[in-house]
Amino acid sequence: MKYKYYLSVLITILLLQSALPMFSAKRNMEYLDRGLVAVKVNNGVFLSWRFLGTDNIDIGFNLYRDDLLLNQTPITNSTNFTDVGGLLTSKYKVLPVINGVEDTVGVKTVSTWAQQFKTVPLNRPPSGITPPNKTGNVGRAANRSYPNGQPYSYSPNDCSVGDVDGDGEYEIIVKWDPTNSQDNAYYGITGNVYLDAYKLDGTHLWRIDLGENIRAGAHYTQFLVYDFDGDGLAEVICKTAPGTIDGNGNYVILPGDDPLAKYRSNDTTQISGSGMLGTVLKGPEYLTLFDGKTGAELHTVPYNPPRGNLSSWGDGYGNRSDRFLACVAYLDGVNASAVMCRGYYAKTTLTAYDVRDKKLVERWHHNSSTSNSGAFGQGNHNLSVADVDEDGRDEIIYGACVIDHDGSLLYRTGLGHGDAMHVSDMDLDNPGLEVWVVHEEKSAAYGYELHDARTGKILWGGKTGTDVGRGMAGDIDARYPGFEMWSTGASGVYSSKGVQISTNRPSVNFRVYWDGDLQDELLDRTRITKWTGNGTTTLLSPSGVASCNGTKATPNLSADILGDWREEVIFWTTNDSSSLRIYTTTIPTQHKLYTLMHDPVYRLGIAWQNTAYNQPPHLGFYIGDGLENLVMPDINLIRYNENGTGVSPVFEKSIAQVFSHNGNIRVIAEEDISSISVYSVLGKLIHQNSQIHQNEYTYPLNSNEKILIVNIRTATRNATVKLMNH
């Protein structure tokens, strides 16, 4: 079997005579530890851990309880195990085993959870009270008046994850929303929005106060958490304004602007028009890059584009001008860029930024401002990112259109704005990826449809003449190849070919991998259910927790952040709104799949999952028919160097020089070598030594393989080298 991990994508000329290593143009993705989690269950302790995207497919694992080896032979066919002798006091560690040798580098010991969830305590912001206020929620008519101000409090809203301190574990970035947050279409003063960073044990790392000039609501604050500059540490990017205070307590401000200026409309008589009470339609707008470890401002630029003429966005009162989206995309195929988006009902803009030397550098700006052309009016309340044309670089699937990696329009379907969208390999007979979208435009030729992600060709759909507000896609029924789809625009569930397979319709909010098979389960509010073919059964229904975002009923986050490839779901506690619960599955599975976070489409789905009308993430490949032909991702893992520099083997100086001559391999490294592994191009392990502990190593290679893959590990770095065996 050929695995992409061992193949170069861009390099076509191999080293014929040179002894220096050459690197392929792989995506730089985050280093993760094994993510071992231990949960007390009725028959002992359930354990699960990560299989990494850069692991050898045949890797095995040894499990230890209190330093006692639990398995007689390395576990190679799964990444979970039930220890029938495990106790609540037991402590565990997992060690990778390659060619019979345990890898002890970076091994961590974990304690056992007492229940199926881990509680993460939070530092809830203090409650507040607004100036005298009115609110309106239906047709912008006043339904409450607060002559003495409106009291409000806070609950955790959308979350994201990233490794902000470089220890191989995710931290959680929490957006705190006030109880008086508002939709753009309605007036009303809101409390400030806060972004917090927490370690999984509840350690509060920092707080960013976005200030009065950033309104609270689903459409205003789309925040990106990702390692943008390849140093092994995640940064945070979001829209800011005068009045924003960073994690070090300093104002975010550009020269000439006033950090104490107030641009929010406080005129209680204005309940319509461009001066609507509570809206912020004047004053500077910023985009800020924050340090993920401290929350400190690193760089701020004017937001591009500015509001300009409000009516160009689709109305004159600031509703559609303040519809923001954001995503992360590998626009050059190697490094992550931030893409900040404004508008989708009419004028539509996207601006891409790279992070270089801790500064935001604009890569390109897309502006569709002419009706019936480009991306004008084609955007959704959400987006997705994938390499739809298979050129190694990402596109932004922006509702009914796609923006190419260079900022140009790839295509538009012309079907207009919609509320929900899903991207994955749904139709196994159609090459590449597909897009399932529901549309709001009543005049659209399709109220729901499946189209080819590369070309926009409609594969099937239905005209509804209505605003279709919900649509879901997932592989929920193993009897039918590919995904199943359903929406509020039609009754029942449909196969990937558009054939109705059931007249019953399950929930239409989220999907999740939870039980032991390779099909999707359904997540709605706080319940996880399993499709039975014509109905559902409940797998998880926790008490004392709540979902987010009203009728959207989304989790704070759903992502593969711990354990094996099944996903965790995060909800907030209802008793005092001051903690999160991370729920993980304890259902055994024999399927061995690398962590979903090392699939680029899925990982970028986690980055954009907090955007506007949250949508669930999907894999960029199909697993429903089995993992026998699993192809490993073509990625590099970037591990943080405690000396202050990241480790990126792509087009940078190697951590070592590798020589192949007369049947010997010689390695000269910058620091002591922890281990060396040598593979054939097809992934066969030829040699491994994890007991080197010096910076030079020579090995007589008795192999006829012409192309060699050499993996070198030091205490702080990891690189993979391809070279010719002379």
Round to whole Å and give the CA distance between 629 and 44.
33
Angle at 269 between CA 266 and CA 273, to 5 degrees: 85
In sign, the C-alpha dihedral spanning 80, 81, 87, 91 is negative
445-456, pLDDT tens digit by residue? 999 999 999 999
> Which pLDDT score, from 0 to 100, does residue 649 have?
37
Spatial neighbors of 526 by CB under 8 A, at least 6 apart, are 540, 541, 542, 545, 546, 547, 555, 571
Torsion angle of alpha carbons 568, 573, 577, 580, nearest 10°?
-30
Closest to 279 measured CA to CA, from 248, 252, 241, 253: 241
| Count of alpha carbons within 13 angstroms of residue 131, beta-carbon side | 10
Tokens standing for 542? 């926790």
Is residue 400 over pLDDT 80? yes
The alpha-helical segments, DSSP class H, found in 376-491 are none
Structure tokens at 431: 């090459």
Let me know how long the chain is. 726
Place of tokens 């190694």: 392
Phi, psi of 664 (to 5 degrees): -110, 150
- Please state, in angstroms and rounded to a whole number, the distance separating the CA atoms of residues 570 and 583: 6
State the Cα–Cα distance between residues 91 and 107, nearest whole angstrom.
13
The answer to whether residues 396 and 402 touch, using CB atoms and an 8 Å cutoff, is yes
For 570, the enclosing helix (H) or strand (E) is strand 568-573
Beta partners for 540?
A: 528
User: What average pLDDT score do residues 279-306 get?
Assistant: 97
pLDDT band, residue 708 (cuts 50/70/90): confident
pLDDT digits (tens, 9 = 90+) for 666-676: 888 878 888 88
Q: Look up residue 380 and give its two tokens.
A: 């959704």
Checking if the pLDDT of 394 tops 70, the result is yes
Q: Which of 6-10, 23-27, 340-344 has the lowest mean pLDDT?
A: 6-10
Closest CA to 160 of 521, 520, 561, 523: 561
- The pTM (predicted TM-score) of the whole model is 0.87
Q: What is the mean pLDDT of residues 48-74?
A: 96
Backbone dihedral angles phi then psi of residue 320, each to the nearest 5 degrees: -80, -15
Average pLDDT for 643-647: 52
Opening angle at CA 219, ends 213 and 221, nearest 5: 55
| Helix, strand or coil, per DSSP, at residue 601 | helix
What are the pLDDT digits (tens) for 362-392? 999 999 999 999 999 999 999 999 999 999 9
pLDDT at site 191: 97
Q: 1-5, 143-147, 429-433, 441-445 — which is least confidently predicted?
A: 1-5
- For residue 22, pLDDT over 60 is answered with no
Nearest to 622, CA basis, from 401, 473, 438, 457: 473
- Does position 648 have pLDDT exceeding 50, yes or no? no
Check residue 16 and give its pLDDT.
27
| Cα(492)–Cα(126) distance, integer angstroms | 46
Residue 136 pLDDT exceeds 70: no
Band of residue 657 on the pLDDT scale cut at 50, 70, 90 = confident
Residues 214-230: tens digit of each pLDDT: 999 999 999 999 999 99
Q: For the chain, what percent of residues have pLDDT higher than 90?
A: 78
Distance (Å, whole) CA 151 – CA 469: 32
Could you tell me the two tokens for 421? 């969208």
What is the band of 653 on the pLDDT scale with cuts at 50, 70, 90? very low
The pLDDT of residue 233: 97
Average pLDDT over all residues of the chain: 91
User: How confident is the model at residue 722, as a pLDDT?
Assistant: 66
Mean pLDDT of 473-477: 98
- The pLDDT assigned to 271 comes to 78
Cα torsion at 585, 591, 593, 595 (round to 10°)?
A: 10
Closest CA to 471 of 455, 443, 504, 493: 493
Q: pLDDT over 70 for what percent of the chain?
A: 91
Pairing label, strands 635-638, 27-30: parallel
- Cis bond leading into 259, ω under 30°? no
Q: Average pLDDT for residues 114-143, to the nearest whole number?
A: 85
Averaged pLDDT, 340-361: 98
